[in-house]
Structure 1
Amino acid sequence: MTKKRRTIALLMDYMRGEYQSAVRIGVERAAEAHDVNLVFAVGEILAGDASSEAVQKSVYRLVGAEAVDGIVVASGTLSNYLGVEELQRFCRGFAPIPLCSVGLVLEGAPSIVVDNGLGIEMTAGHLIDDHARRRIAYLGGSPSNGEARVRAEAYRRALATRAMPYDERLVAFGEFTIDTGRSAMREILDRRVAFDAVVAANDNMALGAIEQLKASGRDVPKDVLVCGFDDVGVARYTKPSLTTVRQPIKRLGAIAVETVLRMLDGEDVPELNLQQIELTRRESCGCAFQPVVVRSLTAPPPPRGAPPSLGGQRDELERALEQAVGIPAAAFGGWTTELLSALEEELEGREGRFLEALERVLDMATLDGVFLDMFQSAITLLRERLRRLTADPAAAATNEALERLWHACRVLVGSASVRAEGRQRLQVEVASINLSWSGRWFSTCLSMPLVKRMLAVEMPRLQLTRAAISLYEDAQRTTLRTLFLMEDGREVEPPSASFPVRQLAPPGFLSASERTSVVVMPLMLGDTEHFGIMALDSGVHEVVYDALRLQLGSAVKTVALHREVVRQVELRERLEQERGREESVVAARIQTTLVPERPEQLEVEGLEIRAAMKPATEVGGDYYDVIPTPEGGWLGIGDVAGHGLAAGLVMLMIQSMVSALTSRDPGASPSELIAALNKAIYKNVRGRMKRDEHATLLLLRYERSGRVTFAGAHDDIIVCSARTRRCVCIPSTGIWTGVFPVIDAMTRDSEFFLEDGDVLVLYSDGVTEARNVHQEQFGLERLRATIEVAQSAPVEAIRDRILGEVEAWCPSPDDDITVVVARYRAPR
């Protein structure tokens, strides 16, 4: 049975820092050597924006025995947010999982650290003892950070040891960043206190201090000397290059992995593992590049005439090379041993052997992210050693050959360094270009299926081959469901089942058959909106992970917002439809209630009348009325533009006012009634209701003699003559009601006379404008033909014939249909 491969988690705040990157490389190197899986749990808590609560609720708390066997904590980074005491409680929460701390001593946990106090004492002592500086400013890290407190205390101790006073005006604090180093330096400058040197708690703050000093007109190192701590990559090629304390950060990470594995094997491990540091002097203190060598090499000269040999100095020289370059001697298969063996072969006459070995070591160092210019100090060291071994004048030819070799070595190191820097810059540029494209595409995603399609395209472009993007399935964030899964650069179908959040990724993703290193980050936007967890294979440039996390978080948020907008629109549409239905019911009741109660029993002397109104689905504002008077009667018909409740209300106004005006003066002029009614409708609709509804309206005053006087604007009046059996259309010439405030000048009375047996037909445009499946209107001609065919039938049959023909033409009319049919019977 195959033994299960162990998995170790590294907890750190973010990916992009020089310190974090070095720790990660060291851990990765050791994991490869010991064939263990790695999970980089990156909380992405940014300096200045975090709190203890945020750390406690972050992805770190999801790391447990369900996913990993051991934990390495980059405590030097997390203590910025928690403080030492809170960090200790935080780490105890992972028990009983074996845990090792890097960078900070934690009680009850093995800790891999450097002597932070000694480093600050070395820099302060160098400035005081070697450069005779007496007014040294100190830029410290956050007081909540354990490393920062130790370094601040060492600064005071260095002054006290040399009987120099401590001046709090020369001290300011930051957060280990360039920006806070700049602001801390500005704070001291604003105090207008004299100083001639600066010691910073780390390199980033030192670089920020140099920028601020230059901005204030002070030269470094001419006016002020500056020293840092950590020896990050940028410290070597800033101008001026930075004097700093070099700590073996990668080695700390590697030792931490080895310590956790020993704990898993049941071995006893020391509570404290203190690693050596050294002062590297460069331009910012005026010394230029010059690492401090703990011991000088002393070797007796070779016998006169004998070829030079490293002799018994190999072990001591290997230690010196390791210290000069800052890479463990055992790295790359024992690089110091390989170089010295090749050098001995070169001295024995195998020309080119040393350059071959050096090139191989440089290639390996490039893959490991080593700053290659450090090998220049190794060449300097070997050159000095060989010069002492070839001091005999008889070795002039050998010295000349060696000088050519050292020159070739420097050229080789320089060109390899340029290529490595160029390759790294190209990687950053390519990653930035690809991220700009992925950001553009993700910003357009409005659905999760589209996000998945974009992930399938963009992940390989970003050189990622394995990915699991999982979203929280419940509000309590206890379970995850995988949205997107990629293996070997190809999208695969994710498991349908959800899984516990503490597994971090779908089953099997963190325990593949091949050794894996996976970066696990929270998928979130801001500090409060948590969407899920993304797990990506490690190995691409650090900038990709954070940028992709932000892009995906933004995309998921965009999808959620779009989904909510759609939901709200659908809800609003449903509410509008419901309101419309309710209004239609009310409008229909208004419309059907106010028409004559029993149209089959309409009584106007001399007229046989039958009428009907059929409201459409979206009720409009059709109106008709029949009002008997002693001399005859009034007929009215109209149509309010629009649908729904507003149209019904306007129709209600028209009906009420027509009824009131005709009752008050049965013999009134139709044009006068129309003009008066228009004024009231315009005022109510436009002024009070703030709407623009208007209406067609036709009023007819019928007299028993057959005389009909009419005014207004509506569809043509149809009169089917009993004598000719043909229909005549009488147009109305008025203007719509409610369009203008006054229409008196545009409204005139007209008249016509009915003969015995004539049929009068009034209708709304719902009749003539009804459309069939071919979008053809029923039309006025078809209406006239229908009336002519049925003109001798009873008025009820004529009405029903018209309604039947229209319904057959258009089974689902979208407008109200109103028909009024009257036959005139002359007095005998």
Structure 2
Amino acid sequence: MAAKRPTIALLIDYLCGEYQSEVRFGVERAAEAHDVNLVVAFGESLARPGYALTARSNIYPLISADAVDAVVVVTSALTNHLGVEDARAFCRSYAPLPMCSVGLVVDGIPSVIVDNARGAEAVVAHVLDDHGCRRVAYISGPASNEEANVRADAYRRALAARGLPCDERLFVFGDFMIDGGRRAMRELLARRVDLDAVVAGNDNMALGAMDALKAHGLDVPADVLVCGFDDVAVSRVTRPSLTTVRQPIKELGALAVTTVLRQLGGERVPERSLLPVEVTRRESCGCGYYAAASPRASGEAPARAAPSRSLGGQREDLARALAQAVTHSAAPLEGWPGELLSALEEELAGREGRFLLALQALLDAAGREGVALDQFQRAITLLRERIGAPEGAPGAGLERLWHESRVLISHASVRAEGERRLYLERASINLSWTGMCFSTCLSLPLLRRTLASELPRLDLTHVAVSLYDDPQRATLKSLFLMEHGREVEPPPASFPSRSLAPPGFLSSVDRWSMIAMPLAFGDAENFGVAVVNSGANEVVYDGVRLQIGSAMKAVSMHREIVRQVEIRERLEQEQARQESVVAEHIQTALLPATLRVDGLELSAAMKPTAEVGGDYYDVLPTPQGGWLGIGDVAGHGLAAGLVMLMIQGMVAALTRREPTASPSAVISALNRAIHENIRDRLKRDEHATLVLLRYERGGRVTFAGAHEDLLVCRARTGRCECIPSSGVWVGILPAIDAMTRDAEFVLEDGDVLVLYSDGVTEARNAHREQFGVERLCAAVEATQAAPVDVIRDRILRDVESWSTSPDDDITVVVARYRAPRDARG
């Protein structure tokens, strides 16, 4: 059985930075060369004090022996804002896993670093000695960063070695970012001190400083020289191109992988591995593009090729010089100087085109390995300098060969840069599209569908998105799983967070390289972890991380809104239920206990709905006859019940005070009080339909108000007569006196008077048809001779049969008039 393939974790703060990108490239290439798996965990730079982890940096504690066998920490970037002790504590938290620190020395942990002191001192010496500058400003990295302090100390030593004072006004701190360089340069300019050069602790700050100088009207390098440190890719294509200290960043990553693998193999490794650096002279210091000098002594004439078709004794010396002219860590390029020189020998021997073919193949291979192709211009300069025209070989032919070689290199550089830009543009366009799609995800099922449809367009085909399953974030549960570009069903069971992905996802027999990133929103909200395949454009990972994190925030906010709405609805329903109970109690408790008016046979019923309305009826006997009232308060619930209660109380008080009052006068007085109470005191807009009838023993009925039609079924004909009420709603206007008039009708012996609410006539069946006045009249006419209780029950039964779930209260009052004996014919 084959041994398990080791897995290495690379901990880094960011993927798109020039420095971070090159370190990761070196680590990935080395992992591939050594046939080991790689997990790149990135979240964000750790912040002070005490490197308190934010939601975005909580990915780092999940890296453990549960998922990886060794750890490489890019301490120079990840712990940028930590002090030395906190950086050490962070690195030591991964013990006893084999590990390596990149960029910073961490005591007790193998570290791979560049010679920061020598590089910084060399670039400061260059502007002092070669350009004669005396007022050199320095932009340092953060004071808490050890690497920044080493470079700043080298600046001071370079000045001291030449007897120059260190003017603290020329020293300023930055943060290793372009914006930080701009701010630092503006601060230097604001101090109004003389300066003739600026050296920055890294290229990003140098580029920012050049922006600030140009904005201030100063020319680089005519007015101020500028130099950086790192030699990131962009430094070669800026205008002017940046003089800098080239550090072998890819080699640092590759050496870190070798270091942890040796530890896994049981070997002892050096506690500190130091890689050399060199000053690369370009336009920002006035040197132009620097061609590497050959190893010959200064002033020595260029060596001439032997008068033969072979390079002879020069070959070994040329191979070493060529290897020094182009820096790279790519194993596939090993031995390229010898291959190129062999092709040159064939070219010199008469096999035309061999050198350019070999150079093209070399450029193609170097491009695949991420080598800066413009470095090969230095190789051509060196060959032209060292090789004269052998006997029989015209010098013009060699000059043409060098010219064609430079054109070939230029084209390859432009093509490589164009391909990178197209790749970046494609990724950016796709990210914009996926961002729109993710922004509309308001549920987890919709988020899963969006992940399945959108991630493959970003070249993400192996994806595990998992959400924390407990408050302590000790376990994860798979939300989405994709393999080979196809969604697969995620396992239902939770798994330990330190496994990063569900069981089986990181267990392929084939070597793999994955990116692990936190799914967070802001600094505090951490939803889970995404593990995706490497190989996509580097801008994709941070973009997808932010988009999924934002989508999860939208999902959680939508859930919370729905939850709050449900709670509010339940509370409102409970409040409405309680109000309905109270309203129903008010509505039913105030109904007349007995229905007794001289000369009238009376029967009445009120059936409140589940959501109690504001129906009202009352029967008030007087010595001369009595008062009948019926109405309906707009709305439902407690407020409607309160208005109904006010109407009942006022009608009873006014009619008892003056039994023979005009109904219109009673309604007008009641309206004034009701309007004030509802609008000014309750701050509501309820109103009510209301009709009041003053019945006299002789059969005369005087009425006023606005409500449903009054029905009188005449004993003589057995047919119903509809008498309209044409007043104004109560409570809607401050005064209705001018619009309220009394009207009259006369009851004859045996006539049946029916009062009802709109819950009767507006009851709807399954087809949304109303019960209507015609059906009400038919029910009354069918039972006109029966006792009033029978008439009432027939009406209620017909309405309930028509509408099994009425929307409004149903109120019916039935009165049969019995004329005095002496008045009967």
1:513 aligns with 2:509: yes
- State the match for 1:121 in structure 2: 121
1:542 equivalent in structure 2: 538
Query: Which residue of structure 2 lines up, in the alignment, with residue 356 of structure 1?
Result: 357
Contact conserved, 2:304 with 2:386, CA < 8 A, in 1?
A: no
Alignment check: 8 A CA contact 1:59 1:522 kept: yes
> Contact conserved, 1:229 with 1:245, CA < 8 A, in 2?
yes
Structure 2 partner of 1:224 = 224
Query: Alpha-carbon deviations, 1:376-423, whole Å to 9, x = none?
Result: 111111121212xx4x6x44x343332222122112111111111111
CA deviation after TM superposition for structure 1 residue 293, in Å: 4.4
Amino acid at match of 1:536: V
- In structure 2, the residue matched to 1:162 is 162
Q: Structure 2-normalised TM-score? A: 0.96
Task: Name stretches of at least 5 consecutive residues in structure 1 with no aligned partner.
Answer: none
Of 769, 790, 800, which residue of structure 1 is paired with 2:762? 769
Q: Which amino acid aligns with 1:617?
A: A
One of 413, 417, 421 as aligned partner of 2:409? 413
2:51 matched residue in structure 1 = 52
Q: 2:797 aligned with 1:804, yes or no?
A: yes
2:287 and 2:774 map into 1 onto residues whose CA distance is 109
Deviation at 1:191, TM superposition (A): 1.4
Cα distance between partner residues in 1 of 2:317 and 2:76: 33
1:274-285 alignment to 2 at 5 Å?
274-285=274-285
2:614 counterpart (621, 626, 631): 621
Instruction: Give the drift of 1:456.
Output: 1.0
In structure 2, relative to structure 1, the CA distance for the partners of 1:597 and 1:564 (3 Å cut) is same
- SS of the aligned residue for 2:815 comes to strand
Q: 1:189: Cα distance to partner?
A: 1.6
Corresponding residue number in structure 1 for 2:603: 610
Q: How does 1:60-79 map to 2 (within 5 A)?
A: 60-79=60-79
Q: CA deviation at 1:259?
A: 1.0
| Deviation by residue 1:667-724 (Cα, 9 ceiling, x = unmatched) | 1111211111111111111221122211121111122222222222222222222233
Separation in 2, partners of 1:386, 1:512: 53
> How much has 1:796 moved relative to structure 2?
1.5
Is residue 422 of structure 1 aligned with residue 421 of structure 2?
A: no
Correspondence list, 1:225-244, <5 A: 225-244=225-244
Instruction: Measure the CA separation in 1 of the matches of 2:220 and 2:257.
Output: 40
- 2:666 is aligned to 673
- Could you say what secondary structure the match of 1:10 adopts? strand
**Partners of 2:705 and 2:472 in 1: how far apart?**
69
Match of 1:581 in 2: 577
Equivalence for 2:706: 713
Instruction: Tell me, yes or no, if the aligned pair for 1:100 and 1:109 is still in contact at 8 Å.
Output: yes
Residues 733 and 185 of structure 1, relative CA distance in 2, 3 Å threshold: closer
Q: Which residue of 2 aligns with 1:185?
A: 185
Q: Deviations over 1:585-640 (max 9, x none)?
A: 11111111111124xxx221121111111112221111111111112111111111
**Which residue does the alignment assign to 2:625?**
632
Contact 2:48 2:82 in 1 (8 A): no
Shift of the 751–805 alpha-carbon distance from structure 1 to 2, 3 Å rule, reads same
SS at match of 2:712: strand
Match in the other structure for 1:267: 267
* 2:617/2:630 contact within 8 Å kept: yes
Please tell me whether residue 96 in structure 1 is matched to residue 96 in structure 2.
yes
Q: Tell whether 2:679 aligns with 1:686.
A: yes
Residue 399 (structure 2) aligned to one of 390, 403, 407: 403
- Distance of aligned partners of 1:195 and 1:340 in 2 relative to their CA distance in 1, 3 Å threshold: same
1:529 corresponding residue in structure 2 = 525
Instruction: For residue 166 of structure 2, give the secondary structure of its aligned residue in structure 1.
Output: coil
User: 1:103 deviation in Å?
Assistant: 1.2
Task: Give the direction of change, closer, same or farther, for the CA distance of 1:723–1:328 in structure 2 (3 Å limit).
Answer: closer
Deviation of 1:362 after TM superposition, in Å, equals 0.7
Residues 215 and 713 (structure 1), Cα distance of their counterparts in 2 relative to 1, 3 Å cut: closer
CA shift, 1:363, in A, is 0.7
* Partner amino acid, structure 2, of 1:679: R
Deviations along 1:54-85, one digit per CA (max 9) or x if unpaired, are 27962112111111111111111123122222
Give the 3-state SS of the residue equivalent to 1:54 in structure 2: coil
| Other-structure match for 2:131 | 131
SS in 2 for 1:189: helix
Q: Distance in 1 between matches of 2:493 and 2:156?
A: 59
Q: 1:751 to 1:40 in 2, by over 3 A?
A: same
For 1:134-149, what aligned pairs fall within 5 Å after superposition?
Answer: 134-149=134-149
Residues 721 and 264 of structure 1, relative CA distance in 2, 3 Å threshold: same
Q: Separation in 2 of the partners of 1:30 and 1:148? A: 27
Identify which range, 800-809 or 561-570, moves more after superposition.
800-809
The answer as to whether partners of 2:14 and 2:20 remain within 8 angstroms in 1 is yes
Give 3-state SS (helix, strand or coil) of 1:465's partner: coil
2:818 is the alignment partner of 1:825: yes
1:287, distance to aligned residue in structure 2 (A)? 1.3
> Quick one: structure 1 residues 294 and 574, their matched pair in 2 at CA, closer, same or farther if it must change by over 3 Å?
farther
| Aligned equivalents of 1:365, 1:276: Cα separation in 2 | 21
Choose 652-661 or 183-192, whichever is displaced more: 183-192
Kindly provide the amino acid, as one letter, of the partner of residue 91 in structure 2. C
1:648 alignment counterpart:
641
Query: What letter corresponds to residue 579 of structure 1 in structure 2?
Result: Q
> Secondary structure at the residue paired with 1:326?
coil
From the superposition, tell whether residues 664 and 221 of structure 1 become closer, same or farther in structure 2 (CA, over 3 Å): same
Distance 1:529 1:331 in 2: 44
Corresponding residue number in structure 2 for 1:477: 473
Distance 2:290 2:683 in 1: 86
Match of 1:339 in 2: 340
How far apart, CA to CA, are the structure 2 residues paired with 1:744 and 1:128? 103
Alignment of 1:483-494 (within 5 A): 483-494=479-490
Distance (whole Å) between structure 2 residues aligned to residue 191 and residue 672 of structure 1:
90
Distance apart, 1:509 and its partner CA: 2.2
Residue 14 of structure 2 aligns to a residue whose secondary structure is: coil
How many Å separate the matches in 2 of 1:359 and 1:324? 18
Question: 2:449 and 2:801 mapped to 1: Cα distance?
Answer: 51
Distance in 1, matches of 2:336 and 2:606, equals: 102
Give, in whole Å, the separation in 2 of the partners of 1:293 and 1:529.
56
In 2: Cα distance, 1:106 partner to 1:711 partner: 98
The answer to whether the Cα contact below 8 Å between 1:322 and 1:328 also exists between their aligned partners in 2 is no
- Distance in 1 separating the partners of 2:422 and 2:694: 93
What displacement does 1:328 show?
4.4
CA RMSD of aligned residues (A): 2.0
The change in CA–CA distance for 1:650 and 1:723 in structure 2 (over 3 A counts) is same
Other-structure match for 2:591: 595
Instruction: Return the letter of the residue paired with 1:806.
Output: V
TM-score for the superposition, normalised by structure 1: 0.96
Give the drift of 1:652.
0.6
Which deviates the most, 813-822 or 245-254? 813-822
Q: 1:658 & 1:421 partners in 2: Cα distance?
A: 92
Aligned partners of 1:142 and 1:148 also within 8 Å: yes
Give the equivalent residue in structure 2 for 1:663. Answer: 656
Name 1:319's counterpart in structure 2.
320
Render the CA deviation track for 1:312-355: whole Å, top value 9, x for unaligned. 34343223222211124854253222212222232333322222
Equivalent-residue separation in structure 1 for 2:603 and 2:75 (angstroms): 95
Residues 734-765 of structure 1, C-alpha deviation per residue, up to 9 Å, x if partnerless? 22211221111222222222222222221112
Q: Matches of 2:329 and 2:627 in 1, distance apart? A: 112
Change (3 A) 1:148 1:292: farther
1:262 and 1:269 in contact (8 A); partners too: yes
> In the alignment, which residue of structure 2 is the partner of 1:755?
748
Q: What is the one-letter code of the residue matched to 2:230?
A: D
**1:622 match: secondary structure:** strand
Query: Which whole-Å deviations, capped at 9, do the CAs of 1:269-303 have from their partners, x for residues lacking one?
Result: 11121111111111111111115548338899679
Kept in 2, the 8 Å contact 1:79–1:146? The answer is: no
